Amino acid sequence: MTKGITDETLDAMSRRKIKQLIYELRQKEFRWTPVRRIHIPKKKGTRPLGIPTWRDKLLQEVIRSLLEEYYEPQFSTASHGFRPGRGCHTALQHIQGTWTGTRCFLEGDISKYFDTINHDILMEILGKRIRDPRFLRLLRELLEAGYLEDWKFHLTLSGTPQGSVLSPLLANVYLNEFDQYGERILIPEYTRGETRRGNPAYRSLINKMRYTTVQGKQAIRKQMRHLPAMDPHDPSYRRLRFIRYADDWLVGYDGTRQEAEEIKRKIGVWLQENLKLTLSEEKTLITHAVKGAARFLGYEIVNQQYNAHIYKGRRRSLNGTIGLRIPNDVIEKKCNQYQKNGKPTSRPKLLEDDDFSIVERYQQEYRGMVQYYLLAYNVGRLNKLRWIAQQSLMKTLASKHQTSVAAMYAKYSAKIQTPEGKTLKCLQVTRERKNKPPLIARFGGISLIRQPRAVLNDKPYIHKVGRTEILRRLLADKCELCDSTENVEVHHVRKLADLKDKGGREIPVWKKIMATRRRKTLVVCHECHMNNTYGRPTRLKILL
CA dist 208 → 221, 231, 316, 321, 385 (Å)? 11, 19, 20, 29, 52
What per-residue confidence (pLDDT) applies to 149?
84
Based on the fold, state whether residues 273 and 216 are members of the same structural domain.
yes
- Please check whether residue 51 lies inside any domain of the structure: no
Count of Cβ atoms closer than 10 Å to residue 79 Cβ: 21
476 and 393, same domain (yes or no): no
Residues in Cβ contact with 6 at an 8 Å cutoff, skipping those fewer than 6 apart: 33, 53
* CA gap 467, 59 in Å, rounded: 17
Which residue, 280, 298, 325, sits at the end of a domain? Answer: 325
Residue 474 has a pLDDT of: 60
Are 316 and 179 found together in one domain? Answer: yes
Prediction pTM value = 0.79
**Residue 305 resides in a domain:** yes
For residue 61, the model assigns a pLDDT of 93
Domain count, the chain: 3
Residue 292 and residue 267 share a domain: yes
Q: Are 165 and 57 in contact (CB under 8 A)?
A: yes
Identify whether 449 is part of a domain: no
Q: Are residues 310 and 195 in the same domain?
A: yes
Residues 187 and 311 in one domain: yes
Looking at the structure, do residues 394 and 511 belong to the same domain, yes or no?
A: no
pLDDT at 544: 40
For 417, which DSSP code? Answer: E
| Cβ atoms of residues 142 and 60 within 8 Å | yes
Domain membership of residue 73 (yes or no) is no
User: Alpha-carbon distance 62 to 72, whole Å?
Assistant: 15
Q: What does the alpha-carbon distance between residue 2 and residue 494 come to, in Å, rounded to a whole number?
A: 10
End-to-end CA gap in the chain = 27
Average pLDDT per block of 10 residues along the chain, 544 residues long: 68 77 92 87 79 89 95 95 92 94 92 92 96 95 88 84 88 96 96 83 76 76 72 84 95 94 96 94 91 95 74 59 94 95 93 92 95 94 96 96 95 88 91 88 92 61 44 69 75 64 59 61 79 67 46
pLDDT at 542: 47
Q: Domain limits at 530?
A: 469-534
Residue 441 to residue 253: CA distance in whole angstroms: 47
Q: Are residues 187 and 306 in the same domain?
A: yes
265 belongs to a structural domain: yes
Q: Clarify whether residues 320 and 195 are in a common domain.
A: yes
> 325, 352, 376: which is the final residue of a domain?
325
**Domain boundary residue among 444, 478, 494?**
444
Does residue 86 lie within any of the structural domains? no
Is there a single domain that holds both residue 371 and residue 479? Answer: no
Same domain, 416 and 498: no
Report which of 83, 296, 285 is spatially closest to residue 176, judged by C-alpha positions: 83
The span from the CA of 20 to the CA of 16, in Å, is 6
* Position 293 in a domain: yes
The helix/strand/coil state of 252 is strand
Same domain membership, residue 320 and residue 193: yes
At 315 the pLDDT is 54
Cα–Cα distance, 370 to 380 (Å, whole number): 9
